[in-house]
């Protein structure tokens, strides 16, 4: 039988363990003195890191610390200005991502990169399809061979043979991750870079992902794991590298560290510990009348939202919990008018309203900080000022039709200063900010409309600990001044921390409500967390 | 400062490159032919280019919002036909102008309604309306003799002059300046860019995409209608097939000027430069006695060259480190109480 594929990707080489690449613990990939400058910023400054076979190497750092740049360099997307990359003791230069892949480095990004309409199998072999042996067969795909190559891996990583035939877009986030892992393994990945793999996953899904990571490790794969969640690290990471301001400040053994000590390494001497005491962060609560801002009555939109009733009052933070697919984001989209409800009533400030589109919502005083900042919130080519003013241009418009640019800049600058956005100026393009600072600009955009109700959908997704605390502060300030907030989050500790009440959604319905609030003991908190998880996952009968 | 950096800084100013090439071309033609800078020739050049300039200006709105309008050529034809027909029947200039503009706007409304209201792909919608209204003009010209109207005032729209300037040039200049201003200084223009940069984000930020797109297509149709009125006045007759191919010239002009097809970038004046570039090229080739059959070949080459050149300058600008970049404002505050540096413990 004749195959067009290169010898590296024949069936015999499939199992990584079969490869003769040295024992567990030998260095596979190394970056030495890597540096990268962008206009006005040194993104990476003389960073060295080495990755070993069968090792989970965690990479920590605040937003803007240089993690993305380092990943970009290792995966061939970014060209370093200085330093070198060494594979199997040979220096190598990548000029594109394909070259990095061809030596066995696979990057699994924060955003899912599977083609949603192709099946999982097609995705796994995308661009590297196996073909039939005969002369004419070269033009035909050999689906059987492709299936055979991955089938023994399928169940191990939590997929079923049936899943291979389904379009990738119909799978949940966890299974999509598993598919990406298979994609890496089918082509002898020796290094797998996981860029915040757990964001967007519910707690029990994260556990399955960690199992998958351990399996990868057992196969001798070196894993570089970027995460913001310090609690995940212990017991899983074998070694931790911390970046700060583009430098490698420490490569440490997790056994010698605590979450607090890691935070100190990440933020330097600026902050001494995580401010994990919400009562401290929250200022004087709203003492005015607790009027209803929003009331939903049996709001439905088939099939994801069913008969939802809820109320948000002034000065209150309502958390919405639930696993992925419970209908939380869909509910937020209905409130915002991005989707229309099939039935049910929405009242704002006691008056029944129809919200036909987000414009209507903003006019009623409802604003949203959407999930997926990059695709749903950020206007990349716009300056900070233009990003902030876009939702309420009437505030800076003179004579009803002309934007007063200097007024716009001045006003936007007030928000940038209040929210402590780190930027070189109001005219900087938002694209060039770090994730946490982009998120602050999006919050500034909402505050700029002077809303009565703000919806925060996964507000701290993909941003670092310090930026998270600042986002919490902004939410508190908003409600303590008489606003109402809805916070949707997949991170239970976060919800328990910021919310006054938590509504749990399951399969589109409100499954129950749990009191939260600041003055809780640790025991009380974990009790509540258990109650919420039980409500969120209990199967309906 | 190294030459490379200087070049990069110059190229970084939007639209400068096309403008410079345009200037170089004018110098080349004026050296090659003594007639090129003659007042009669310049007059012809500007009058001939007004139609493309108008269409290109209107189409830049559509391109920036992230759409495309292929129907403008046939809108121009239909509007020209209806304008002349109204002139013939009523001899009322204001009514004829109103009919010309309204017919363009109405087709724009149809396009926009299908695209924004029903969510059909703009390429397909406007390809269909292009065909429908090109056919409509053919039907119209077989039913009515669209040749000539004795009205002097109608003729003066495109053939007269004001303060020595040809009136179509003056009209076009005013419209183009207005369009540029609206795009740059009004909330409407700002939302057009926002929708083009990231439509989902603009939507979540409260930009009413449906209404915005509808407005843009109506505007595009009305501008094409205006071009139709001027062309009818200039030719004083309307033939089947009038306006066909104009849409591609207009889009080519916008692309040469540097308006992106993916939305969110470009401006009206850049499209206008592109349109003038093409008109000058055509005129210059005539003066040099190059067969006009070569013109479309040169247009195609210009498009490719313009794109390739802008990619090159982008890359150049990206590799050169700007000298005058602002310093990073993030300075960690020293904390006196804690003196030990976090060292590697592993």
- Summarize pLDDT for B243-253 with one digit per residue, the tens: 888 999 999 99
Q: Is A402 on the interface with B (CB under 8 A)?
A: yes
> Is A21:A53 a contact under the CB 8 Å cutoff?
yes
Residue A37, strand partner residues: A42
Asked whether the predicted pLDDT for residue A173 surpasses 90, the reply is no
Q: Is the pLDDT of residue B60 over 90?
A: yes
B322 in contact with A, Cβ within 8 Å: yes
What CATH architecture is B3-319?
A: Orthogonal Bundle (1.10)
CA–CA min distance A269, chain B (Å) = 6
Mean pLDDT lowest among A316-325, B86-95, B128-137: A316-325
**C-alpha–C-alpha distance, residues B199 and B263, integer Å:** 10
Looking at residue B334, its pLDDT comes to: 36
**Radius of gyration, alpha carbons of chain A:** 25
Nearest to B346 among A39, A252, A425 (CB): A252
Q: Give the list of residues 6+ apart from residue B4 with CB closer than 8 angstroms, or none.
A: B316, B320
Q: Residue A280 — very low, low, confident or very high, per pLDDT cuts 50/70/90?
A: very low
Please tell me the least confidently modeled range out of A282-296, A484-498, B96-110, B309-323: B309-323
Query: Is pLDDT larger for residue B38 or for residue B127?
Result: B127
Stretch A22-36: mean pLDDT: 84
CB contact under 8 A, B346 and A272: no
Q: Do A390 and B207 touch (CB under 8 A)?
A: yes
Confidence of residue B275 (pLDDT cuts 50, 70, 90): very high
Q: What is the pLDDT averaged over residues A160-178?
A: 83
| C-beta of residue A119 within 8 angstroms of C-beta of residue A168 | yes
Task: State how far the alpha carbon of B212 is from the alpha carbons of B126, B190, B194, B220, B249, in Å.
Answer: 17, 11, 11, 12, 25
Instruction: Look at B132 and B288; give whichever has higher pLDDT.
Output: B132
pLDDT category at A112 given cuts 50, 70, 90 is: low
Q: What's chain B's average pLDDT?
A: 84
Residue pLDDT, tens place only, A306-338 = 899 999 999 899 999 887 678 888 999 999 998
- Put simply, the answer to whether B326 touches A336 (Cβ < 8 Å) is no
pLDDT band for A108, please (50, 70, 90 cuts): confident
A96 or A51: which carries more pLDDT confidence?
A51
CA A483 to CA A476: how far, in whole Å? 9
Structure tokens belonging to residue B219: 């505007």
B333 CB within 8 Å of a chain A CB = yes
pLDDT of residue A9: 38
More confident residue, B254 or A139: B254
B266 and A CB contact within 8 Å: no
CB contact under 8 A, A269 and B198: no
A372: three-class secondary structure by DSSP: coil
Contact A448, A454 (CB under 8 A): no
Q: Would you state the pLDDT for residue A454?
A: 94
Nearest C-alpha neighbor of A274 from the set A286, A294, A287, A259: A259
- Average pLDDT over chain A reads 82
What is the DSSP secondary-structure string of B243-310? Answer: TTTHHHHHHHHHHHHT--TTSS---HHHHHHHHHHHHHHHHHHHHTT--GGGHHHHHHHHHHHHHHHH
Give the nearest chain A residue to B186 (CA atoms).
A402
pLDDT confidence band for B271 (50 / 70 / 90): very high
C-alpha angle B45/B49/B54, rounded to 5°? 155
Answer whether B194 sits within 8 Å of A379, measured CB to CB: yes
Q: Report the alpha-carbon distance of residue A304 to residue A329 in Å, rounded.
A: 10
Q: What is d(CA A67, CA A249) in angstroms, rounded to the nearest whole number?
A: 12
Count CB pairs under 8 A between chains A and B.
130
| Nearest neighbour of A382 by CB, restricted to B187, B197, B332 | B197
Q: How far is CA B193 from CA B116, B202, B209, in A?
A: 17, 9, 12
Cα(A340)–Cα(A301) distance, integer angstroms: 7
Supply the pLDDT for residue B339: 36
B265 touches chain A (CB under 8 A): yes
Cβ of A407 under 8 Å from any chain B Cβ? no
Q: Does B119 touch chain A (CB under 8 A)?
A: no
Question: How far, in Å, CA of A61 to CA of A243, rounded?
Answer: 5
Highest-pLDDT range among A120-124, A171-175, B208-212? B208-212
- The CA distance from A440 to the nearest CA of chain B, in Å, is 14
Mutation site for A-interface testing, chosen from B196, B201, B259, B325 by largest number of A Cβ within 10 Å: B201
pLDDT class for B322, splitting at 50, 70, 90? very low
| Distance (Å, whole) CA A488 – CA B293 | 63
Q: What is the mean pLDDT of residues A378-386?
A: 92
Of B247, B255, B300, B312, nearest to B64 (Cα)?
A: B255
What is the C-alpha separation between A514 and A535, in angstroms, rounded? 10
Nearest-angstrom CA–CA distance, A103 and A434: 30
pLDDT value for A277: 44
pLDDT in tens, A415-428: 999 888 888 888 88
In whole angstroms, how far apart are CA B98 and each of A408, B37, B49, B229? 38, 37, 23, 10
Q: In which band, very low, low, confident or very high, does the pLDDT at A1 lie, cut at 50, 70 and 90?
A: very low
Q: Is B149 helix (H, G, I), strand (E, B) or coil?
A: coil
| Chain B nearest C-alpha distance from A266 (Å) | 10
Asked if B201 lies within 8 A of A338 by C-beta distance, the reply is no
Q: Where are the domains of chain B?
A: 3-319
Res. A541: pLDDT tops 50 = no
B338 touches chain A (CB under 8 A): yes
Q: Give the nearest chain B residue to A425 (CA atoms).
A: B326
Instruction: State whether residue B213 sits within 8 Å of chain A by CB.
Output: no
Which pLDDT belongs to residue A470? Answer: 85
CB contact under 8 A, A424 and B193: no
Nearest CA in chain B to A373: B201
A234-238, A345-349, A526-530: range with lowest mean pLDDT: A526-530
Q: Which range is least confidently modeled, B37-51, B64-78, B111-125? A: B37-51
Cα angle for residues B160, B165, B167 (degrees, 5° grid): 40
Minimal CA separation from A491 to chain B, in Å:
23
Contact B204 A336 (CB under 8 A): yes
Give the mean model confidence (pLDDT) for residues A36-57: 86
- The alpha carbon of residue A81 is apart from the nearest alpha carbon of chain B, in Å, by 10
Q: What percent of chain B has pLDDT over 70?
A: 86
Interface probe for B, chosen from A255, A261, A337, A381 (most Cβ of B below 10 Å), is: A381
Contact B203, A358 (CB under 8 A): yes
Q: What is the ipTM of this complex?
A: 0.81
A116-125, A152-161, B73-82, range with greatest mean pLDDT: B73-82
Instruction: Average the pLDDT over each of A2-16, A220-234, A326-340, B22-36 and give the range with the smallest value.
Output: A2-16
Domains defined along chain A, listed by start = 7-267 (3.40.50.300), 275-365+451-541 (3.40.50.300), 373-448 (no CATH)
Nearest to B328 among A40, A336, A376 (CB): A40
Closest approach of B119 to chain A, Cα-based (Å): 15
Quick one: pLDDT band at residue A172, thresholds 50, 70, 90? confident
What is the distance between the alpha carbons of residues A327 and B160, in angstroms, rounded to a whole number? Answer: 66
The answer to which of A164-168, B12-16, B134-138 has the lowest mean pLDDT is B12-16
Which spans in A285-434 are helix H? 328-336, 358-363, 373-376, 384-389, 405-418
pLDDT of residue B342: 38
Q: Are strands A343-348 and A305-313 parallel, antiparallel or unpaired?
A: unpaired
Residue range A186-196, pLDDT digits in tens: 877 899 998 87
pLDDT tens profile A479-502:
988 899 999 987 777 888 888 899
φ, ψ (nearest 5 deg) of residue B163:
50, 35
Confidence of residue B157 (pLDDT cuts 50, 70, 90): confident
Peptide bond into A303 cis (omega under 30): yes
> Is B206 in Cβ contact with A362 (below 8 Å)?
yes
Q: Nearest 5°: phi and psi at A86? A: -125, 125
Of B327, B329, B333, the CB nearest to A422: B329
- CB contact set of A266 (below 8 Å; sequence gap of 6+): A60, A61, A62, A65, A242, A244, A464, A465
Using the Cβ of B9 and the Cβ atoms of chain A, whether some distance falls under 8 Å is answered with no
Tell whether A253 lies on the interface with B, counting CB pairs under 8 A: yes
Q: Which of A375, A422, A424 sits opposite B326 (nearest CB)?
A: A424
**pLDDT reading at A55 higher than 90:** yes
Residue A263 has pLDDT above 80, yes or no: no
Can you give the pLDDT at residue B312?
77
Percent of residues in chain B assigned helix, strand, coil, to nearest 5: 70, 0, 25
CA B89 to chain centre: 33
- In this predicted structure, what is the pLDDT of residue A382? 92
CA-nearest residue of chain B to A272? B338
Is there a contact between B191 and A390 if contact means CB atoms under 8 Å apart? Answer: yes
- Tell me whether residues A380 and B193 touch, CB distance under 8 A: no
Q: Is A268 on the interface with B (CB under 8 A)?
A: yes
A15 CA: distance to closest CA in chain B (Å): 32
| pLDDT value of residue A433 | 86
pLDDT score recorded for residue B164: 80
Q: How large a percentage of chain A has pLDDT more than 70? A: 88
Return the CA Rg of chain B: 24
Q: Which residues contact A12 (CB under 8 A, 6 or more apart)?
A: A18
pLDDT number for residue A450: 92
* Range name among A116-120, A332-336, B192-196 with the lowest pLDDT average: A116-120
Instruction: Determine how many CB atoms are found less than 10 A away from the CB of residue B232.
Output: 30
Q: Is B325 on the interface with A (CB under 8 A)?
A: yes
Residue B327 contacts A, CB cutoff 8 Å? yes
pLDDT for the residue A60: 87
**Minimal Cα–Cα distance from B199 to chain A, Å?**
8
Q: State whether residue A249 sits within 8 Å of chain B by CB.
A: yes
């Amino acid at each position: 039988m004749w195959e067009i594929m290169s010898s590296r990707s024949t069936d015999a080489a499939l199992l990584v363990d079969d490869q003769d690449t040295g024992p567990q613990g030998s260095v596979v990939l190394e970056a030495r003195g890597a540096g990268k400058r962008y206009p006005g910023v040194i993104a990476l400054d003389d960073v060295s890191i080495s990755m070993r076979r069968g090792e989970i190497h965690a990479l920590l750092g605040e937003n803007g610390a240089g993690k993305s740049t380092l990943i970009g360099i290792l995966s061939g997307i970014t060209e370093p200005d200085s330093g070198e990359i060494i594979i199997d003791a040979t220096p190598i230069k990548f000029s594109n991502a394909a070259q990095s892949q061809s030596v066995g480095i696979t990057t699994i990004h924060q955003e899912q990169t599977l083609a949603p309409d192709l099946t999982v199998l097609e995705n796994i072999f995308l661009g590297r399809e196996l073909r039939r042996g005969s002369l004419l067969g070269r033009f035909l795909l050999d689906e059987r061979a492709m299936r055979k190559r991955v089938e023994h891996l399928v169940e191990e990583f939590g997929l079923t043979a049936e899943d291979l035939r389904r379009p990738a877009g119909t799978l949940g986030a966890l299974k999509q991750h598993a598919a990406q892992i298979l994609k890496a393994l089918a082509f002898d990945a020796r290094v797998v870079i996981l860029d915040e793999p757990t964001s967007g996953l519910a707690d029990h899904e994260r556990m399955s992902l960690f199992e998958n990571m351990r399996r990868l490790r057992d196969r001798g794969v070196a894993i570089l794991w970027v995460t913001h969640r310090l609690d995940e690290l212990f017991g899983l990471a074998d070694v931790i590298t911390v970046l700060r301001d583009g430098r490698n400040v420490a490569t440490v053994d997790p056994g010698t560290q605590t979450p607090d000590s890691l935070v100190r390494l990440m933020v330097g001497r600026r902050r001494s510990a995580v401010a994990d005491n919400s009562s401290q962060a929250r200022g004087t609560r709203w003492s005015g009348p607790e009027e209803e801002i929003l009331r939903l009555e049996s709001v439905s939109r088939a099939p994801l939202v069913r008969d939802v009733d809820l109320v948000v009052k002034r000065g209150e933070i309502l958390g919405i919990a639930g696993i992925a697919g419970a209908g939380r984001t869909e509910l937020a989209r209905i409130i915002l008018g991005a989707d229309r409800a099939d039935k049910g009533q929405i009242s704002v400030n006691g008056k029944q309203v129809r919200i036909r589109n987000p414009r209507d919502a903003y006019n009623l005083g409802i604003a949203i900080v959407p999930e997926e900042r990059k695709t749903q919130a950020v206007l990349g080519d716009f300056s900070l000022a233009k990003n902030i003013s876009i939702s309420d241009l009437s505030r800076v418009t003179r004579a009803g039709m002309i934007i007063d640019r200097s007024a716009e800049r001045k006003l936007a600058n007030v928000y940038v200063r209040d929210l402590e956005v780190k930027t070189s100026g109001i005219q900087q393009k938002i694209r060039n900010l770090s994730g946490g600072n982009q998120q602050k600009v999006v919050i500034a955009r909402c505050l700029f409309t002077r809303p009565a109700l703000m919806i925060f959908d996964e507000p701290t997704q993909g941003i670092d600990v310090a930026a998270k605390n600042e986002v919490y502060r902004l939410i508190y300030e908003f409600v303590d001044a008489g606003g109402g907030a809805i916070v949707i989050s997949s991170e239970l500790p976060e919800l328990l921390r910021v919310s006054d009440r938590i509504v749990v959604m399951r399969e589109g319905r409100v499954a129950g409500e749990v009191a939260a609030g600041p003055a809780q003991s640790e025991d009380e908190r974990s009790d509540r967390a258990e109650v919420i998880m039980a409500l969120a996952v209990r199967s309906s009968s | 400062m190294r030459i490379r950096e200087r070049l990069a800084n110059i190229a970084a100013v939007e639209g400068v490159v096309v403008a410079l090439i345009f200037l170089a071309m004018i110098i080349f033609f004026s050296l090659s032919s003594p007639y090129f800078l003659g007042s009669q020739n310049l007059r012809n050049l500007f009058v001939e280019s007004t139609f493309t300039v108008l269409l290109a200006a209107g189409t830049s709105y559509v391109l920036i919002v992230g759409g495309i309008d292929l129907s403008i050529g046939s809108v121009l034809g239909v509007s020209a036909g209806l304008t002349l027909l109204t002139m013939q029947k009523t001899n009322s200039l204001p009514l004829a102008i109103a009919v010309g503009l309204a017919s363009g706007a109405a087709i724009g409304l149809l396009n926009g309604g299908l695209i924004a209201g029903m969510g059909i792909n703009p390429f397909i919608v406007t390809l269909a309306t292009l065909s429908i209204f090109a056919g409509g003009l053919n039907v119209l010209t077989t039913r009515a003799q669209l040749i000539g109207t004795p009205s002097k005032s109608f003729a003066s729209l495109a053939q007269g002059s004001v303060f020595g300037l040809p009136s179509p040039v003056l009209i076009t200049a005013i419209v183009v300046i207005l369009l540029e201003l609206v795009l740059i200084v009004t909330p409407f223009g700002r939302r057009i860019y926002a929708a083009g940069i990231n439509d989902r984000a603009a939507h979540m930020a409260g930009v009413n995409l449906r209404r915005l797109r509808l407005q843009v297509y109506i505007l595009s149709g009305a501008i094409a209608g205006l071009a139709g009125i001027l062309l009818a006045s200039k030719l004083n007759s309307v033939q089947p097939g009038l306006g066909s191919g104009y849409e591609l010239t207009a889009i080519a002009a916008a692309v040469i000027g540097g308006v992106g097809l993916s939305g969110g970038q470009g401006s009206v004046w850049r499209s206008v430069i592109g349109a003038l570039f093409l008109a000058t090229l055509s005129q210059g080739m005539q003066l040099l006695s190059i067969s006009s059959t070569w013109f479309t070949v040169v247009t195609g080459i210009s498009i490719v060259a313009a794109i390739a050149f802008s990619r090159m300058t982008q890359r150049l600008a990206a590799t050169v480190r700007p000298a005058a970049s602002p310093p990073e404002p993030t300075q960690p505050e020293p904390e006196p109480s804690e003196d030990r540096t976090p060292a590697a413990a592993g």
